Amino acid sequence: MYSSKTRVYLNALSHRKALMVSATCRKPGWLVLAAVCMLFVSLGCGGGAATGAGKKGSRPGAAGGNTLATAAPVGAVVTASGIVVSDKTRDIWRAGLDAFANAESSRWSGNQCQSVPELFRKAVRSQGEAIAEADFMVGLVAERCGQGDAALAAYKQAVANDPKYCKARIALGLVDLRAGRVRQAEQAFTQAKTNDPQCTEAYVNLGMLQSASRPPNMQEALNNYRRALAIESDYLPAFNQMALLYLNWAKGEGSTEKIRLAEIVCKQATLVNDKYAPIYNTWGLIEVHKGNVIPALRMFKKATDLDDSLFEAYLNFGQMTMSFRGYDDSEKAFTRALQLEPKSYDAMIGLGIATRGLKKFGEAKAIYERALALSSSRPEAYYNLGVLYQDYMSGSVSDMRSAKTFFERFLERARGDSALASTVEDVTRRCSAPKGPRKRSTDCRPGRLQNIETVVAALSSAGG
């Protein structure tokens, strides 16, 4: 199946680096031609997500939604904590935001990972007192640069300097969410909303948790998205999550009305900003649900054209093109997805299937083995290796036995998973030998294991 931003993933949890809107989802099961992922959106800056402002729902600046607020006296620049900053501090701050934006557009280098946070620290030194926004931006840079411990420390410092600072508390909640600490994440989002009732990110994140709960609380999630939009009528992540909610609601109910509402929300979002990439990824998922292949492809492609870092859209485009054997396009899409998320199991399996479709069997084998190294507990790589050895290698007894071993390992991990029930049946189905004058039976198609046993027996008897 497919991945929605954010990161949902369609029946799953995944993570994006963004802070205002990142994604979470349980990765889908990739079999021969299948992959599913639902985008669980959290909050973050970048990655195609709209960002939030430093205070009271004001619109963000270029660097991840962290601007110093403007307040009385007229013309003065103050922090979210109410600190009036000097002109020198303001100029350094703006230089930091510009440097952050440049690094985002060019991909972070080692030098930028050192120089950009130093500008925000310089702003603090210029002011001579703590600035929570500066701590937040230092943490955000650390996240971008893969420095998780440093990011966590900076976010905690921001909260210590201003306990009501929305973004820093949301960032801490996202750290918990990525670590699987859902209850703690929910507490952080709730606290952010309590401290600042106009913290739009808190409402959206709470809504995402509610829509992903079991059973999902769709109505309260919808209410939270509406609350976010009541604060910021043009807050695009809330539009995106509302559209995803209606889509998933429609799937559960089989409702055409909910699908219509999902489309309306997407249209409204494009009226606010027709360059917001995640909404096109979501719109593509809606078209997939409706069975409209070409419009879905166009939406996923538009999303990647607008945001070359939108992992979910590349994953979905690769899956969609693979469904009609467009292996060249699939290979490119999954290759880009892996550049963005090198440890994505789903992108690895997708790339393996695409390269196998292009008859690059050795490369496909190596990719599946990389997926196994990444996660030996998931079943998809075992299944695809079984298919590769059974259908595409030399056809020798040795290859057939290797295929059987991989299918057996697949079954050990897939039994009990309702999403893989039909694939398990395809592997295990047993057909009785026809009796009487009938020499063939068309009532039963042997499964892969039985076919392997038949081939091995024939080759062994023939001395192959």
- Number of folded domains that form the chain: 2
Average pLDDT over residues 40-66: 31
Tokens representing 326?
Answer: 């467009």
**Boundary-marking domain end, from 137, 164, 191:** 164
Q: Which of 102-111, 314-323, 338-347, 366-375 has the lowest mean pLDDT?
A: 102-111
| 71 occurs within a structural domain | yes
Mean pLDDT score of the chain, rounded to an integer? 84
pLDDT band at 440 (very low <50, low <70, confident <90, very high): low
| 266 occurs within a structural domain | no
| 88 occurs within a structural domain | yes
pLDDT band at 81 (very low <50, low <70, confident <90, very high): confident
Average pLDDT over residues 192-200: 95
Q: Which of 52-56, 144-148, 386-390 has the lowest mean pLDDT?
A: 52-56
Tokens representing 262?
Answer: 């999902």
CATH number reported for the structural domain that contains residue 130 in this entry: 1.25.40.10
Question: Which of 80, 66, 196 lies closest to 131 in space, CA to CA?
Answer: 80
Average pLDDT over residues 49-57: 31
Average pLDDT over residues 3-29: 30
| 139 occurs within a structural domain | yes
Q: Which residue has the tokens 């600042």?
A: 196
- Give the domain range for residue 120: 55-164
Residues in the chain, total: 464
Q: What is the pTM of this model?
A: 0.80
Q: Which residue has the tokens 């292949």?
A: 293
**Boundary-marking domain end, from 147, 164, 181:** 164
Which of 347-361, 414-428, 447-461 has maximum average pLDDT?
347-361
**Boundary-marking domain end, from 111, 137, 164:** 164
- What is the arrangement of strands in the sheet containing 8-9, beginning at the earlier edge strand? 8-9, 38-41, 23-24
| 68 occurs within a structural domain | yes
| 433 occurs within a structural domain | yes
| 288 occurs within a structural domain | no
Tally Cβ neighbours within 10 Å of residue 67: 23
Cα(135)–Cα(127) distance, integer angstroms: 14
| 144 occurs within a structural domain | yes
Cis before 215 (ω within 30): yes
Question: Which of 244, 172, 176 lies closest to 211 in space, CA to CA?
Answer: 244
